[in-house]
Structure 1
């Protein structure tokens, strides 16, 4: 006599299982599409094509209008194009209480673009606290400290960034050069020279020294208190 009841229960359970499976498949598809789009956007930026990245973002945000990572990427793309006002407007779409490393770092990027070095250093410090092992944030933080006049702190921050970047990685040279600049700014030119001596190609080393010398002079003229590197 219980068979009809059991059969009645089995049918809804089977339907529920089918609905759950369909939803899981839909979510997997959405995740795959999101990953694909964000990958395309990141690659376009890496290739120096920020306008293409913005086009992908426009398409992506029609499907995912509240995606936090997409909002952060939009600010970065606009900064790539030196559209500072647009970047500020895009930044306003990121909630002020978003304390993720990405949101905090992009605030620092906007301050940097406006030459507000003290505010940039504070934003990067918060981002670094949220993601202590990120060498890119540490590098940005150190450079902002340097431009804000905190050369001693900048040296330590940039040393940390350099330790976090694998040897041979493209970012390694960027961090190394910023550290050499900070060392020079704090009167430690011998340490700066020793750091640059790691560049084995003498022609390349000379080129880097000249570029850093020009950068140091530019910062000094802007009031950063930097002593130009000896040529």
Structure 2
């Protein structure tokens, strides 16, 4: 899932309500809640949840869910990790239920991101944009959300807005290769070869990677958002 050169396709199941029903209220604004404090965790639980989060990042969502079942934590952070695991194992509908419950919690920004990724994988770009914009508004300095938002904007043909999101992501996290690749791919698609190559040099992207990005441009492909955790 963390490949920086392959197209990432998020696993998904049919969502309820239907995509047509979701699209009808796509322009309805999301009301963001004020920041809330997360439940304070004891050190042991915090350590175990950090290990579970690493399992998700390492592409081991089934193991992560098993460990969540073992610790029986109902904290906001644990529930968010469970939703991530369910999404990564193709149980999008179950994940969506948890994410929706968490949109009024201390992890609301990450919950909106999860909902955005589910909508994106289902091909519902207007809904994905709503959720990812809400996620970005809640967590404006989270570089992965900026990249995900930029990706869906690029898919939607909003290239100028996508460029802004990718540039923000790479300035927030200069070592974040996913956004750097998406940025260069977008510049290639816009015919701005000189700028694309300048950024490639800045980010240390090697010739083989550049060649693959050029091929993806010719094929009309996009790298895609990050799916983990």
TM-score by length of 2: 0.70
Following the alignment from structure 1 to structure 2, what is the Cα–Cα distance between the partners of residues 31 and 53? 19
Cα deviation, residue 97, structure 1:
4.9
Residues 122, 215 of structure 1: CA spacing in aligned structure 2 closer, same or farther, 3 A cutoff?
A: farther
Q: What is aligned with 2:188?
A: 184
Equivalent residue, structure 2, for 1:87: 92
Partner of 2:209: 208
Partner Cα separation in structure 2 for residue 47 and residue 214 of structure 1: 28
Q: Distance in 2 between matches of 1:141 and 1:95?
A: 22
Q: How far off its partner does 1:129 sit?
A: 0.7
Range moving further from structure 2, 34-43 or 130-139: 34-43
Q: Judging changes above 3 Å, is the alpha-carbon distance between structure 1 residues 96 and 71 closer, same or farther for their aligned structure 2 residues?
A: closer
Once residues 157 and 219 of structure 1 are traced to their aligned partners in structure 2, the CA distance between those partners, rounded to angstroms, is 20
Q: Within 1, Cα distance between the matches of 2:164 and 2:52?
A: 33
3-state SS, counterpart of residue 92 of structure 1: helix
Which is richer in helix?
1
Question: Is the alpha carbon distance of 1:39 and 1:176 closer, same or farther for their aligned partners in structure 2, counting shifts above 3 Å?
Answer: same
Closer, same or farther in 2 for the Cα pair 1:79/1:89, shift >3 Å? closer
Q: Please say if residues 128 and 138 of structure 1, whose CA atoms lie closer than 8 Å, have aligned partners that are also in contact.
A: yes
Output the CA distance in 2 between the equivalents of 1:178 and 1:33: 38
Partner of 1:163: 171
For residues 117 and 141 of structure 1, the distance between their equivalents in structure 2, rounded to whole angstroms, comes to: 10
**Aligned residue number for residue 106 of structure 1:** 114
What does residue 41 of structure 1 align with?
52
Native 8 Å contact 1:98 1:104 kept in 2: no
2:77 to 59, 63, 69: 69
Q: Which moved more, 1:204-213 or 1:127-136?
A: 204-213
1:137 to 142, 145, 150: 145
Q: CA RMSD in A?
A: 2.5
Cα separation, 1, equivalents of 2:76 and 2:172: 26
Structure 2 stretches lacking a partner, 5+ long: 1-38, 223-229
Q: Deviations for 1:128-175, whole angstroms, at most 9, x for unmatched residues?
A: 11111111111111111111111111001111111100x4x3x2x221
Deviation of the 1:96 alpha carbon: 7.2
